[in-house]
Chains A and B, each alone.
Chain A
Amino acid sequence: MGESESENEAPKVKLRPIVRLGMFLISHSHLLSVVCCTAGVLTLLLLPLLAKNTYISENALMPGSANPMLSSQEVSEANGLVKDLTSLDLKRMASGIESQRLIAQYMSNLGAEVSFQKFYPQSNQFHPLHFFSSPDSATIRENISCSSYGLNTVGIIRAPRGDGKEAIVLVTPYNSEKIGLGEALSLGIAYSVFSLLTRVTWLAKDIIWVVADSKYGEYAAVDAWLRDYYIPVFSGLGIQNAEMCHGLEENTIRERNMRDGFKRAGTMAAALVIKVADRSEQFEDSLSIYAEASNGQMPNLDLINIVNYLAVHRQGLRIKVEKMWSLLNCKWLKILGEILESLGHLAKNLNPQWKFGIPAADYVEGTATLTSSLYYQALGIPTGPHGAFRDYQVDAVTLEISSRVSSNNKGRQNDFLLRGGRLIEGVIRSVNNLLEKFHQSFFLYLLTSPTSLYAHANNLDPSFEKNESNHPASAADELGITLRSWKWLYAAKKVLVVHLWGAVVLLLPYFICQIPNCTPTTSFVVWVLLSIFSLLILFWILGSPFSYVYASQPQQREWALLKSVTISAAFIGLCLMSVINFATAEIGALLMVPMCLMAHPLKLDVKSRKLRNFSRVACNLALGFIGFPPTAFLVFKGVFEGFDGISVGDFWNWLESIWAWSSATYLYIGMIHLPCWILCIHVILHPC
């Protein structure tokens, strides 16, 4: 759109070079934006190549510098616990309290302080601005049924050398109603480490072992415990509720004592969630690391690095990071990888210093990991119970260990427990060395493989080229007071109205959820209908009276103004989102930037019958189709998982899950993406 604008400026005097450069860029804004967009997409595809190897920045951590002290004695004790737990499960006593009592017994035998924490499952509530609020205990639950509650068991070891101001947390989620072998094993690993730590002399931070009751979900249990830990309730209310439900089961005095006080240690330096996968691996023992917390926040990179270093170099575990599996068999990705590989070879032949080529298989794998990392960060849903810690500024990761064979082979199980225990011990020892908070400077990163990352610091999307419509210089010798330089105001008003509508659309699901017996598909349809209805109402109320104002003005430039205001709105929105959740902004920019930049009225394009214009029409239609959030979701889902069995209800379910976790992505879709899409469609269909 820039070409026509620079026509009316005939520079007679020789302008300064910077001005000429600016005018040159504006006059070729279309080409420039295409180039920038392509460059952005290419950079994204090149990321696996550009990833750097990680390093541990904090010297005090010293991972693996001490020999592991965990011996077979602790392991055999842990084996006892595992056996007791599984036999309890076999007996089908069904009462969760039995297993908790057993664990508490084991803990207190080690000399740890044991306490129980009771919590009630919370229904999912809508906190649209959860991101801005600190976690609070304000929810006064009114109708709690006494029968359904979870019970966390917490054991604390006081450090002999510490001042009790800091603590390291171990979390083992388990379902008290049905204990699987994996859960029992994870308890066993934690127990072996715990029993070692009661004896060692080097401990400088308290150790808290939380056995989280995952009856109502792992996250809920950990979250409830953290909330009680950090935000004590001083009113008598909590105790009252707790008291009301007592008496259901008989209490020995000792247990009662344990239950009364909620025990605390210092502030948490780090937290490790230990899980053992029930599925078994084919080749070797492996370890999966989950790190994404709510809104794509990652823990400090040093924590992941320690775990990675110890697992690979000390315990010989294979590290796995989540991958987008369907991408592994992708044809074009393989071809691209091969091209890049051969390019790398070529570059190496030219200059041996250039080493950027990686094997095609590595490239494909890196891309799959990157995509998955991007997707899970963009969702904004925590990938495990470690997410709860992030809300309290505690760095936490979930370690899921899976063994090669699931057999009940005794020796094999011992070995597994020993390796897992030594890994945890090493990590705790490193964190124990830490004198202050973690302070590696990477906060925003994507993992392309366990040992490399891509930091975002230098990757702000270059694809934004604002094509501000420069206003034709009007005759200066007339005192016509029409707001010449302010004529974007009407377009700005329109954009504002559409964004308001986006907020309305966001709130609608809250009401639709209240309708009983609704299948996802019908709720989605209701939602769409209500949205369209509200859009019409909003335009009727706000749009029409003012539309006369610019109806009188020359209309040919109106769509250009609208487009530039839309682009700046999208720019602000993406900037904002890139700070909150970079992955969302990245994916959003991929969809939205080309759409916003391409938008051009169909009518003008069809009038001038040229090939270039028709290709633009096709691009516009395709981008407009893919830019609509539901279609984008369904298309991507179809591409990755196959098109059979896809329905619009899936989108509703997906959205509901984001909504329930109060992710900022939900706000992004409603407040930024959807309004910009509507505005682009408006520009495309503009009657000019």
Chain B
Amino acid sequence: MVLHCYSHFLAHSLPKELKGNLIIFCADVASAMFIRATGRNLQIAYGQSLKFLDLVKLSEKSDILPSGDIAALVYLWNPFTIVACVGLSTSPVENLAIILSLYGACRRIAPLAAFGWVMATHLSLYPVILIIPMILLLGYGPDTPPRKLFLQRKYVEVGDTPSNDRCQQGEAVDQPELPYVFSWRPVIHFLFWTSLWLVYVLVLCGVSVKQYGGLWELFKRTYGFMLTVQDLSPNMGVLWYFFAEVFDFFRNFFLIVFHGNILFMILPLAIRLKHRPFFLAFVYIVISSMLKSYPSVGDSALYLGLLGLFVNELADMKFSFFLFCGYIGVSLLSPVMHNLWIWRGTGNANFYFATAMAYACLQIILVVESVSAMLNHDRKLRKLSATKVLDGKT
């Protein structure tokens, strides 16, 4: 009888669990809210820089899309987000930490940014590389067109004779302080708060894991587990297959190569995209979610949501339709392949790995195309402002 009741209870509780944990649900909603707020901020910054470059008319003619709203909706309605939420994955919480830190950096709230960054690093280690875009974000403020443009513009305005366009100059005088100076104050604040939070988290962790072998054991079991790719059960990434195949004596070498891959790209990207720190953060997130040891759909949910923030800049992105179809196709095919391999026995590991490779390729195309679209956008702005300047001179 007891067993009977128990089985009934199980049957009833199962759908309840499927609905997702309340915390995870709340984390998702909060992430969407923060994305929206960040998007507003970025949009204002975008409008201001257009204004400064005297492209106001163009920006008014075809209105700027509300990127924050779009990004928040994309994040919430993305099937990947829903699956991660229903599957009770912890990635929504990690995503919330990352978004929190980016939001804090965008609004120049140093304690919040520091807290988010420390938590995100603590939870999943890979966001540690986000410290570079965050320092840039705090120092320079949100994304702007290249600084050279502003300098050029300023030079033109100063050198111009007053006989030119008066109203235009009047506008320029009203402008707030130009956003191309690096201010150290928030960065120092950020570093201070980071160390504070870091010490705090470490002390708390140390206290709680004291009886299990201390902090070192914690690092070994968590970060070590991520970095040495011990769990080779199939996932969406490509590392499990690779490390299942590789000879044992090469293992360490390839571990270094794969993780070095992420680190190699940090510096060049930071130099090229330093005027767009938020976009830089987005690129870092995509790259790390592509090359991390245990990727999940929650990671792609995050970067696809963030992609929505650049909807104005990436309007001319190439291959968007191809990417869309690819994402749909891969996300439908990979469960089927997994099923064929694991449950039906009519396929093998290569079937599933093929979809994992296709997925990785899609992510690569996404990164490459979005970066090139962003650079093209910058180029276009430069061209426009140059023609403006020439017009002004003649």
Query: Does the CB pair A477–B328 fall under 8 Å?
Result: no
B345 is an interface residue with CB less than 8 A from chain A:
yes
Query: Does the CB pair A481–B62 fall under 8 Å?
Result: yes
**8 A Cβ contacts from B1-53 to A:** 3-4, 7, 11
Query: Does the CB pair A486–B58 fall under 8 Å?
Result: no
Query: Does the CB pair B383–A572 fall under 8 Å?
Result: no
- B contact face: mostly helix, strand, loop, or mixed: helix
Stretch at the interface among B155-163, B233-241, B251-259, B336-344: B336-344
If A393-B345, A443-B346, A481-B65 touch, does A568 touch B325 (CB 8 Å cutoff)?
A: yes
If A134-B343, A235-B3, A576-B332 touch, does A481 touch B325 (CB 8 Å cutoff)?
A: no
Query: Does the CB pair B333–A579 fall under 8 Å?
Result: yes
A235's partner among B7, B58, B61, B63 (CB-CB below 8 A) is B7
Residues of B within 8 Å of A575, CB to CB, are: 329, 333
Q: CA A480 – CA B316 in complex, angstroms?
A: 11
Shortest distance between the CB of A216 and any CB in chain B (Å):
25
Shortest distance between the CB of B314 and any CB in chain A (Å):
8
Query: Does the CB pair A235–B4 fall under 8 Å?
Result: yes
**8 A Cβ contacts from B301-342 to A:** 311-312, 315-318, 320-322, 324-325, 328-329, 332-333, 335-337, 339-340
Query: Does the CB pair B61–A132 fall under 8 Å?
Result: no
If A236-B3, A480-B62 touch, does A485 touch B346 (CB 8 Å cutoff)?
A: no
Query: Does the CB pair B332–A572 fall under 8 Å?
Result: yes
Q: CA A575 – CA B326 in complex, angstroms?
A: 12
A contacts with B, residue count (CB < 8 A):
35
Query: Does the CB pair A572–B3 fall under 8 Å?
Result: no
**8 A Cβ contacts from A102-157 to B:** 131-132, 134, 140
Of A131, A479, A484, A568, most B-chain CB atoms within 10 Å: A479
Residues of B within 8 Å of A576, CB to CB, are: 329, 332-333, 336
B214 is an interface residue with CB less than 8 A from chain A:
no
Residues of B within 8 Å of A476, CB to CB, are: 380
**A492 closest partner in B (C-beta):** B324
If A131-B339, A477-B383 touch, does A237 touch B7 (CB 8 Å cutoff)?
A: yes
Query: Does the CB pair B315–A237 fall under 8 Å?
Result: no
Residues of A within 8 Å of B351, CB to CB, are: 579
Residues of B within 8 Å of A579, CB to CB, are: 333, 336-337, 340, 347, 351
Shortest distance between the CB of A202 and any CB in chain B (Å):
28
Residues of B within 8 Å of A480, CB to CB, are: 58, 61-62
**B7 closest partner in A (C-beta):** A235
Give A465-501 as 1s and 0s: 1 = Cβ < 8 Å from B's Cβ atoms. Answer: 0001000000011111111111010001000000000
Residues of B within 8 Å of A485, CB to CB, are: 315-318, 320-321
A214 is an interface residue with CB less than 8 A from chain B:
no
Query: Does the CB pair A484–B62 fall under 8 Å?
Result: no
A297 is an interface residue with CB less than 8 A from chain B:
yes
Q: CA A237 – CA B387 in complex, angstroms?
A: 83
A590 is an interface residue with CB less than 8 A from chain B:
no
B contacts with A, residue count (CB < 8 A):
43
A36 is an interface residue with CB less than 8 A from chain B:
no
Shortest distance between the CB of B164 and any CB in chain A (Å):
22
Give A592-610 as 1s and 0s: 1 = Cβ < 8 Å from B's Cβ atoms. Answer: 0000000000000000000
Give B339-361 as 1s and 0s: 1 = Cβ < 8 Å from A's Cβ atoms. Answer: 11001111100010000000000
**A577 closest partner in B (C-beta):** B336
Residues of A within 8 Å of B169, CB to CB, are: none
B59 is an interface residue with CB less than 8 A from chain A:
yes
Give A216-239 as 1s and 0s: 1 = Cβ < 8 Å from B's Cβ atoms. Answer: 000000000000000000011100
Query: Does the CB pair A479–B320 fall under 8 Å?
Result: no
Give A60-89 as 1s and 0s: 1 = Cβ < 8 Å from B's Cβ atoms. Answer: 000000000000000000000000000000
Residues of A within 8 Å of B86, CB to CB, are: none
Residues of A within 8 Å of B4, CB to CB, are: 235-237
Residues of B within 8 Å of A455, CB to CB, are: none
Residues of A within 8 Å of B335, CB to CB, are: 132
Residues of A within 8 Å of B109, CB to CB, are: none
B209 is an interface residue with CB less than 8 A from chain A:
no
Residues of B within 8 Å of A131, CB to CB, are: 339
Shortest distance between the CB of A458 and any CB in chain B (Å):
16
Residues of A within 8 Å of B364, CB to CB, are: none
If A443-B347, A572-B329, A579-B337 touch, does A477 touch B320 (CB 8 Å cutoff)?
A: no
Q: CA A132 – CA B337 in complex, angstroms?
A: 10
B129 is an interface residue with CB less than 8 A from chain A:
no
| Across the A-B interface, the 6 shortest Cβ-Cβ residue pairs | A393-B345, A479-B58, A572-B329, A480-B62, A443-B346, A568-B325
> Chain B interface (Cβ within 8 Å of chain A)?
3-4, 7, 11, 55, 58-59, 61-65, 311-312, 315-318, 320-322, 324-325, 328-329, 332-333, 335-337, 339-340, 343-347, 351, 380-381, 383-384, 387
Can you name 20 extra interface pairs (CB under 8 A) apart from A140-B7, A479-B55, A479-B380? A132-B339, A140-B11, A235-B3, A235-B4, A236-B3, A237-B4, A393-B345, A476-B380, A477-B380, A480-B62, A481-B64, A482-B62, A485-B315, A485-B316, A485-B317, A485-B320, A486-B317, A488-B324, A575-B333, A579-B351
